[in-house]
């Protein structure tokens, strides 16, 4: 089942981000809010003498082709289990919901609204939960956005940039390179091979209504090239169909049981090719476009809006090192914050574990591989 491959060295960020409070909180914003949802669901089911629940679909807004449903379902499932509930495929009760972009009435900043319903066997609503999620790292990933964010910009300026990316999406495409703008140092390319034995080749992207699309047929395998033309190292969070590339990793934190890593590092003026889902620091499983029943998203029981690849770029530096000159000394509160991709054959992918400090999000780049 192993495919012949060339081993390469890839720097990997240590998953415990105690030394990186701004970015650590940003990455966990969604989990924090879903933990609150799980607590509410647990209380409701305790009142009914129930100890199990099924997790259904989470769908996004119709005006944005999003793919975060599987990620929401996965994190909520983990938090429900942590609360003491058993998550089953079939249960007397099901939790499901929707997510959409809204303007928070108090802060006037962009937020993601989670509307979660707990349903009984008759599909009657037992409780309905409204939960808001902030964070200029979290929101672009949820909605699959391409945008540049001013590192030292105010909360309002960064929020406005994300709003514009939703209302008036734009992407910069130069043949196979996809970036947030002509002057942006951060970009991605999709390398596609037609079959298991093929040679991966960069495939040209198409601009469709401001969104980047790369045609990839069922049965083809692809890789994601992360490009950093900046003068500093970059940390990149890569999400495929709403799932972090470490979602299926066997390397877990001993206490929480969650994946130990969530970003990879790309050197200054360099690039890194991500060949698939991380399983351990020696092997990955290829990104393979397959029928939905075999896809990674299907494993999490969600069919909501698949087909989005999002890379979220931040500056990174050694713990005792110097951050980029334009990195804010104090991040804003909100800065902290059909076909599908399946898990293919295992391939060699050498990872090294290091510690870094991370800065605010500077750019997110998204590509759709199916419509």
Task: Please name the residue that has the structure tokens 């590192």.
Answer: 151
164-175 mean pLDDT:
95
N residues, the chain: 371
Of the ranges 82-86, 195-199, 334-338, which one carries the lowest mean pLDDT score? 334-338
Q: Is the pTM of this model over 0.75?
A: yes
Give the confidence band of 3 by pLDDT, cuts at 50, 70, 90. very low
Output the pLDDT for position 339: 43
Tokens standing for residue 46 = 């305790």
Q: Are 124 and 115 in contact (CB under 8 A)?
A: no
Q: Are 226 and 264 in contact (CB under 8 A)?
A: yes
pLDDT at 13 over 70: no
Tokens standing for residue 281 = 């620091």
The 8-class DSSP code of residue 67 comes to -
Query: Is 22 strand, coil or helix?
Result: helix
Which residues on neighbouring strands pair with residue 224, listed in sequence order? 190, 274
pLDDT in tens, 116-169: 999 999 999 999 999 999 888 789 989 999 999 999 889 899 999 999 999 999
Give the confidence band of 291 by pLDDT, cuts at 50, 70, 90. low
The Cα angle at residue 277 between residues 356 and 32, in degrees rounded to 5: 60
The alpha-helical segments, DSSP class H, found in the chain are 21-46, 69-83, 138-143, 155-167, 296-299
25-53 mean pLDDT:
88
pLDDT in tens, 341-351: 443 444 456 67
Output the pLDDT for position 296: 53
pLDDT at 4 over 50: no
Give the confidence band of 254 by pLDDT, cuts at 50, 70, 90. confident
Give the confidence band of 197 by pLDDT, cuts at 50, 70, 90. confident
pLDDT at 215 over 80: yes
Q: Are 158 and 136 in contact (CB under 8 A)?
A: yes
Find, among 371, 45, 354, 321, the residue nearest to 208 by Cα: 371
Q: Taking all residues of the chain, what is their mean pLDDT, rounded to a whole number?
A: 83
Cβ neighbour number for residue 129 with a 10 Å cutoff: 17
């Amino acid at each position: 089942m192993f495919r012949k491959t060339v081993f390469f060295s890839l720097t990997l960020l240590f998953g415990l981000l105690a030394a990186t409070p701004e970015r650590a909180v940003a990455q966990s914003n969604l989990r924090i809010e879903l933990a609150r949802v799980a607590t509410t669901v647990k209380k409701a089911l305790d009142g009914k003498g129930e100890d199990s629940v099924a997790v259904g679909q989470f769908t996004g807004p119709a005006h944005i082709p999003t793919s975060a449903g599987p990620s929401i379902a996965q994190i909520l499932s983990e938090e429900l289990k942590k609360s003491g509930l058993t998550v089953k495929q079939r249960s007397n009760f099901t939790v499901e919901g929707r997510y959409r972009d809204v303007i928070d009435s108090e802060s006037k900043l962009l937020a993601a609204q989670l509307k979660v319903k707990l349903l009984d066997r008759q599909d009657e609503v037992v409780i309905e939960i409204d939960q808001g999620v902030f964070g200029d790292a979290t929101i672009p990933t949820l909605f699959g956005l391409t945008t540049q964010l001013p590192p030292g910009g105010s909360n309002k300026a960064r929020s406005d940039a994300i709003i514009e990316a939703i209302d008036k999406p734009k992407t910069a495409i130069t043949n196979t390179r996809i970036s947030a703008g002509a002057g942006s140092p951060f970009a991605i390319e999709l390398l596609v091979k037609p079959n298991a034995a093929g040679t991966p080749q960069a495939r040209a992207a198409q601009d469709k209504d401001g969104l980047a699309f790369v045609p990839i047929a069922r049965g083809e395998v692809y890789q994601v090239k992360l490009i950093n033309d900046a003068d500093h190292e970059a940390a990149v969070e890569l999400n495929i169909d709403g799932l972090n590339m470490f979602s299926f990793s066997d390397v877990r934190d001993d206490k929480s049981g969650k994946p130990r890593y969530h970003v990879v590092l790309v050197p200054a003026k360099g690039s890194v090719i991500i060949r698939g889902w991380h399983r351990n620091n020696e092997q990955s499983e290829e990104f393979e476009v397959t029928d939905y029943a075999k896809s990674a998203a299907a494993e999490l029981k969600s069919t909501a809006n698949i087909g989005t690849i999002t890379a979220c770029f931040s500056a990174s530096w050694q713990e005792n090192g110097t951050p980029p000159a334009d990195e804010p000394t104090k991040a804003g509160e909100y800065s902290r914050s059909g076909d599908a991709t399946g898990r293919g054959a295992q391939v060699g992918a050498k990872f090294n574990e290091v510690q870094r400090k991370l800065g605010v999000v500077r750019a997110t780049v998204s590509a759709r591989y199916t419509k």
